[in-house]
Homo-oligomer: A and B are copies of this chain.
Amino acid sequence: MNGAALSTDLYELTMMAGYHAAGLVVPATFELYARELPAHRSFLIAAGLEQALDYLENLRFRPEEIQRLRSLPGLQGVAPDFFEEYLPSFRFTGEVWAVEEGTPVFPPEPLLRVTAPLPEAQLVETALLACMMFQTSVASRAVRIVEAASGRPVVEFGARRAHGIEAGVYAARAAFLGGCEATSNVQAGLRFGMPVSGTMAHSWVMTFADESTAFQKYYDVFGRRAVFLLDTYDTVTAARRVAASGLKPSAVRLDSGDVVTLSRTVRDILDAAGLQETKIFVSGDLDEWRIAEMRALGAPIDAFGVGAALSTSSDAPSLGGVYKLVEIERGGASAPIMKLSPGKQTYPGRKQIWRLFEDGMAVGDIMGLADEPGPSRGRPLLKRVMIEGRREFPPQPVEELRARCRAAISHVPASVRRLRDPDQYPVRFSDALIDLIDRVSHVSMP
């Protein structure tokens, strides 16, 4: 990632310089989490860790970047040794604990905990939030959409609606991780080993003087792999043309109109022509609500294509994630830290989350302190993934993360997962954490 070190807010650099000047290169711990669930979410799916660790491992200030920083008006006043000694040899040397990608989490549970010398831990705030929170929001939406499709495949094709080319690639990764069957994004598919799927666009059909020729010409190249788009002029007429053509496309796509009614008509036309194996694929501004409705009405739809709802997490385009100082070494001892701003309090101390299971189902989480023993049968969710700035494990294939996500979400009660009026999943604070909050909130007003 070229220039990754500069992909940060200026205040991270001013504070780094300040810590350096004040001799505060002491161990500090930050935690990254969403303060609360957005509307229409009853859980989040942790995602984006792989890219966050890539970023941390490769973080360097190149000489020309340091020169440019030096010229910034906002960094005037900083002593030369910051630019001449500290930044040139800068590496991220910290320890990272994280929830594995694909794991359901419930705010305010931390997804990531960084312990590193204060300036290092500070610098990485902006990029870690951008990497992790975006993919987390997309993966969370994907799980909802995939559940709504209740067993029918969902294909992500939101690249064109994503916030730029890179965002499209990571959205595809997160959507697949959350349970999508494939992506239309070629770059993402090749990079992450995900199935790539495609149909045809209206422009193909419009290019030819008539629709039957358009279908035939596509079939000439792709044969039974072809998917025909039916709604360029009139969906039912197009279906009749397919039926009369003698071609056997793998699927047809409906992209507009009353697709519930159309899917029934088209199914009948195809079946009558002996095209029982030709599937019906539906797209066009879909989300979990529209898909759930189509499924409830029993429409004969075999697969769904979803764009902006996935690639922009359109109903919750940001999660309000934060990255907060929870502990710092002061006078040689660890001091737990807490912010008291109204509505924006933080929770002190390094934390762990324990998930409790009964009969194989998750029944609640305990958020406690990392150094307490934790409940006897609780499964700890935060694991060490980086030590001294190096990954502890090689990257896992997204296919495996996806399988883990499927398994983990199946252990969350259906009442928590349902789209409408979901139950709130119980997250309790441990006694030790409650005691610490109480203690720190009474002394930390300096």
Show the binding face of A for B, using Cβ within 8 Å.
Answer: 1, 3-4, 6-15, 17-19, 21-22, 24, 28, 30, 55, 68-69, 72-74, 76-79, 118, 122, 125-127, 129-131, 133-134, 157, 159-171, 184-187, 189-190, 195-204, 206-212, 217-218, 220-223, 225, 231-234, 237, 255-257, 284-285, 308, 311-314, 317-318, 320-321, 323-325, 328, 330, 337-344, 346, 444-446
Contact = CB atoms under 8 A, between A and B. Distances in A.
- Copy number in the complex reads 2
B167 A15 contact: no
Contacts of A256: 341-344
Contacts of A339: 202, 206, 232-233
A329 to B, nearest CB: 10
Contact of A7 (B9, B168, B206, B337): B168
> Which 4 interchain pairs have the tightest Cβ spacing?
A10-B198, A210-B446, A11-B198, A317-B317
A75 to B, nearest CB: 9
Given A9-B186, A21-B220, A199-B11, A225 B163 contact: no
Contacts of A14: 198, 200, 218, 221-222
B444 A233 contact: yes
A1 B211 CA distance: 37
Given A118-B207, A126-B160, A163-B171, 9 more contacts: A6-B190, A10-B196, A10-B198, A15-B201, A15-B204, A18-B218, A73-B195, A74-B197, A231-B341
Nearest to A30: B203
19 contacts: A6-B187, A7-B159, A8-B186, A9-B160, A10-B184, A11-B198, A15-B204, A28-B203, A73-B196, A130-B167, A131-B164, A134-B163, A166-B166, A206-B338, A256-B342, A257-B342, A311-B318, A312-B312, A313-B317
A39 to B, nearest CB: 12
B161 A130 contact: yes
Contact of A68 (B130, B190, B207): B190
A12 B313 CA distance: 24
B446 A7 contact: no
A198 B14 CA distance: 8
A317 B314 contact: yes
Given A18-B218, A168-B7, A231-B341, A196 B74 contact: yes
A184 B9 contact: yes
A77 B234 contact: no
A23 B416 CA distance: 55
Contacts of A225: 73-74, 76-77
Contacts of A218: 14, 18
A221 B78 contact: yes
The interface centre, meaning the residue of A6, A209, A284, A444 with most chain B CB atoms within 10 A of its CB, is A6
A429 B134 CA distance: 40
Contact of A308 (B131, B211, B221, B318): B318
A221 B11 contact: no
Nearest to A157: B9
Nearest to A185: B9
Contact of A159 (B9, B30, B209, B285): B9
A10 B197 contact: yes
The interface centre, meaning the residue of A9, A12, A187 with most chain B CB atoms within 10 A of its CB, is A9
A340 B118 contact: no
A134 B171 CA distance: 14
A318 B328 contact: no
B15 A203 contact: yes
A283 to B, nearest CB: 11
A352 B40 CA distance: 42
Contacts of A164: 130-131, 134, 163-164, 166-167, 170
The interface centre, meaning the residue of A1, A78, A197 with most chain B CB atoms within 10 A of its CB, is A197
A22 to B, nearest CB: 5
B203 A169 contact: no
B7 A169 contact: yes
